Structure 1
Amino acid sequence: MTVPATPRGVPELLATVRELVPNIVEGAADRDRERQLPREEIDALSATGALAITVPATHGGAGGGASAAFELTRLLATADPNVAQVPQSHFVYLRLVELAGSTALKDEIFAAVLTGERVANAQSERGGRTITDISTRIIVDGSDAVVTGEKFYSTGSLLADWLAVLGRDDDGVDHVGFVRDNTRGVSIVDDWTGMGQRTTASGTITFDDVRLPATHVVPRSEAVTGPYGYGALAQGLHAAIDVGIARGALAEASAFVRSSSHPWFEAQVDRAEDDPLLVQRFGELEVEVRAAESALHVAGAAVDHVDRVRTDDAAAEASLQVAAAKVLADRAALAVTNGLFELGGTRASDDRLNLHRHWRNARTHTLHDPIRWKLQHLGRWTVRGERPPRGPQL
C-alpha cells in the first residue's frame, strides 16, 4: 500500500480525510443495501496515512491524541458510520500498545501502521453471563504464546492486517495478543447479520492453537487501571460515531426536503423549506447535534489532558466528560435519524432511497455500552462526589 513518504501533521491529515468524505458518501446507500464491505474506501483512507494519526512522534507518527482520533472518526461517520467504526478499535489498540506494549511490539506495530496496515478487535464472545466473561485463553509458553478460543462481533477483522485478541491466562489475568490475520490457525467468517452497521467488516474469528511471539502479548490491566483515560478514549470514539451519524443524517434530511418534499397545505408556502414549523423542527435538531459536537470536543480535550498530567482527578474528569458526550451523542443520533422521516414526509419512507439506513445504523451502534449507566456515573458524581470506576468501558 502506498502511503505518504513524509509523515504529515494532524491538521493536514484531518484535511485529507475531509477531502475523502464526498467519495465515501457517494456509495454509502448502495454498500448498505448490497452489504458490500467498504474495502476501497478503507484502503484509500489507509493510503493517506490518516490511520497513523495517533502513532507517537517518537515512532515517526503525527502524535495526535484523543481529540484527533475523535474528529477523524466523526468526519468519517458523517459520510458512512460503517467506515468510521472499522478504525475505532484500531485507535484503541494502538493506545494499548503505546501504554503497555513491549519495545519490540511498539516498533513493529507502529512501523506497520505507518505503512498503512490496520488493527481490528477480537474481543466479544458468545455464551458468557456478561461481556466480562472471557473463555479465550492466552498462555505464554517460553518465548512464544498460544491463543485458543472464538470471538464474534470482531469489527474490522475482515479488512485488518492485525487482530488484537483479548484472552485470559490460567491465573485469570487478561491479556491482549497481537496476531497477524494470516497466521496459521486463524479463521475469520463473514457472518455479521445486524440490521444496521451492516458493512463494518465484523465476523466470527476462531483461534486454533495460534502461536505468536510472547513480546506480542500485552497485559491489559496496565492500561485499564492506570490514570491514562484508556476507557474514556474507547468510549469517546463510540460517541464520535454517533455524533457523525447525527450530522450526516441531518444533512441528508435537509437536502431531501429541498429536493423532494412537498409543503404541507396549511403552511401556505410554495416550498417545504419555507414551512415555519418545519424550519423550527430543523432548528431544534440542529441544537441537539451542535450540543453533541461541542461535548465531544470537550471530551477529547479532557482525555488529552489526562495524558499530560496522569492524575486520578484528570482521569475521572475525562470519564465524566466522555460519559456526557456519549449521552448527548446517543440522543442526537436517534432524534435526527427518526426525525428525518417526520421532516421528509411520506416520500422519505420509499425503500429505494434507503434513508432508513441512518436510523438502523444509529439504533444498532447506540446499543454499545448503554447510556443509562453513563447517567448513573454522572449522577453518582453529582450527588455523592463518587468517581467513576476505571475500565475499558469508562
Structure 2
Amino acid sequence: MSETATIDRDLVQRFASLFDELGRDTVERERERRLPYAEVEALREVGFTRVTLPRRYGGEEATHGELFELLAELARRDPNLAQLFRSHFSYIDRTLHAPASADREARLARLADGAIVGNASHERSTAKVGSLATRLTETPGGLRLNGTKFYSTGTLFADLVGVAAEQDGEFVSALVETDAAGVDRIDDWTGFGQRLTGSGTTVFTEVAVDASAVTRREPERLSHGGAFVQLVLLAAVTGIGRAIVDDAGAFVRTRTRTYSHGAASTAQADPIVQEVVGELSAKSFAADAALAAATTALERSSAAILGAGPDLVQERIAAVELATARAQLVILPAVLDAATALFDVGGASAVETHRALDRHWRNARTIASHNPSRFKARAIGDHVVNGTPIASWWSTGEA
C-alpha cells in the first residue's frame, strides 16, 4: 500500500466514528427539516473544518485526494453536510494557493481559529450571464455592499461569507461577517432534495466592508477553482452511491418476504436480487474511480500552481477541467440509475416512508442540477472535435 493510501485510510478512520454518529438520524433530520447546526459544530470541534490547513495552523495538511474521500464518506452518511462545506474548503484552497501576504496570513489564522466560510455568489436577478447585480460602492462612510444572493449554500452555518460583487465595473469578492449589520440570512430553500444545505437567500443591505476584506479578480492568475467546487458536488454524489449500496444490502439481509415467482426461497438467496445489488456496487465503483481520477488531476494542478511555470500550470488546469467534466458524465448517471434500481431489491415495503430510500434519488438529482451535465457533454465533444478549451468557470444569469 502506498504512503498516500495509508494516510487516506488513517484520516477517514479518524473521523469515521463521528461520521457514523452524525449519520444515525439523517432521515429524521430531513423528515423534521431540522437544520444541522449541531452537526456542523461537532465537525468544527473535532477539526474537520481545518483538515486541509497546514499543521502550523492546526490542520492535517490533507491532500485533495484525502479531502474528497472524506467528503464522499461524510456524504455516505449525510450528503447535506458534505455539500454545505463546499465554499468553505474552496476558500481554504484558494487561500493556500494565493501568493504570500499579510492578508493571506490573517485569513489562514482566522480559519485556524475554526471560522467557517459560506457562499454568496449566484443571483436570481435580471443580471445577464457574466454580470452581477450585487454592488460594492465607495461612500463617504466607506465601502458599502448591497445585493441579494440565492443558492447561498452553507451560509446559514458560517461565520464568514464570500460575496461576489461588481465594483466600478470590476468583479470582486468581499469577505463579510455573517452577523454583521445589514446581513440577513433567510432559510427559504425549497428544493425537493438536499433540503438542509442552507441554500437559500442572503440579503446585503448597506453592509460596511473593510478594504482589506476585498479581493479583486485577477484574470492572469490561473486557478483550478472551477474544478474544485464541482468536485465537491461529485464527491457528495459519490457518497450517495455508496449509501445506496449500504441500504440495498441492509434491506435484503433483513427481508423475510419473497414472491411465488421469485428465483429462491429468500431474498438473500435470490440470484436476481443478488444481481441487482452487484450492479449497484459496480455503479458505485465507477463513481469512485471517476472521482479518484479527477482528484488526481487536481493534485497535479495544485503542484504546478505552487511551483511550476505558467505553461505547465495552464496545461494542468486544462487537464483537471476536462477530467472533472468527464467525471460528471460518469458519476451522475451511475448514481442516479442506481438510486432507481435500488427499488428492484424489494417490493412495496421498500417505498415505505420511514425507510426514506427515495432520498438518494432526490438528493443526487438535486446536486446533478448544478451545471447540468448535458451542457458539459457538449463542451467535451467540442473539445474533442475542435480543440475548444473546457471553460474554467461556469456561471448563470439572464439570457
State the alpha-carbon separation in 2 of the partners of residues 290 and 145 from structure 1: 50
- The offset of 1:163, in angstroms, is 0.9
From 3, 18, 21, give the equivalent of 2:19: 21
Structure 1 residue aligned with 2:180: 183
Q: Which digits, 9 at most, give the CA deviation of each residue in 1:136-161, with x for residues without a partner?
A: 01235699532111111211111111
Per the alignment, residue 91 of structure 1 pairs with 89
Structure 2 residue runs without a partner (length 5+): 1-6, 306-312
Aligned to 1:337: 339
Aligned counterpart, 2:301: 306
Structure 2 counterpart of 1:260: 255
> Aligned partners of 2:107, 2:135: CA distance in 1, in Å?
22
Mapped to 1, the partners of 2:323 and 2:243 lie a distance apart of 23
Distance in 1 separating the partners of 2:63 and 2:72:
14
* C-alpha distance in structure 1 between counterparts of 2:161 and 2:41, whole Å: 17
2: CA distance between counterparts of 1:249 and 1:162? 34
- Aligned pairs (5 A) from 1:111-190: 111-128=109-126, 132-139=130-137, 145-171=143-169, 173-190=170-187
Q: Which of the numbers 17, 22, 41 marks the counterpart of 1:43?
A: 41
| Aligned counterparts of 1:230 and 1:283: Cα–Cα separation in 2 | 36
Displacement, 1:101? 7.8
- TM-score, normalised to structure 2, is 0.89
User: Which structure 2 residues correspond to residues 370-389 of structure 1 after superposition, within 5 A?
Assistant: 370-389=372-391
User: What's the offset of the Cα at 1:13?
Assistant: 4.1
Quote how far apart the aligned CAs of 1:106 are: 2.4
Shift of 1:353: 2.3
Q: Structure 1 residue 12: deviation in Å? A: 4.9
> In structure 1, what is the equivalent of residue 225 of structure 2?
230
| Structure 1: runs of 5 or more not aligned | 1-8
Q: Is the 8 A contact 2:11 2:66 kept in 1?
A: no
Q: How does 1:100-115 map to 2 (within 5 A)?
A: 100=98, 103-115=101-113
The question of whether the paired residues in 1 share the 8 Å contact of 2:263 and 2:271 is answered with: no
Question: Does the 8 Å contact 2:90/2:229 carry over to 1?
Answer: yes
Q: 2:351 aligned to 346, 349, 353, which one?
A: 349
Instruction: Give 2:207's aligned amino acid.
Output: V
Separation (CA, whole Å) in 2 of partners of 1:144 and 1:301: 44
User: Is the contact made by 1:14 and 1:50 (CA closer than 8 Å) also made in structure 2?
Assistant: no
The equivalent residue for 1:195 is 192
Distance 1:163 1:101, change over 3 A: farther
Q: C-alpha displacement at 1:59, in angstroms? A: 4.7
Runs of 4+ in 1 over 6 A off after TM superposition: none
What is the RMSD of the two structures over their aligned residues, measured on CA atoms? 2.3
User: 1:247: which partner in 2?
Assistant: 242
Distance 2:140 2:300 in 1: 39
Per-residue CA shift, 1:174-218, capped at 9, x if unaligned? 111111111111111111111111111233111111112111111
Equivalenced residue count is: 382
Partner of 1:269: 264
* Distance in 2 between residues matched to 1:254 and 1:62, nearest whole Å: 34
Structure 1 range deviating more: 139-148 or 31-40 = 139-148
- TM-score between both structures, scaled by the size of structure 1: 0.90
- Aligned to 2:261, what secondary structure does the other structure show? helix
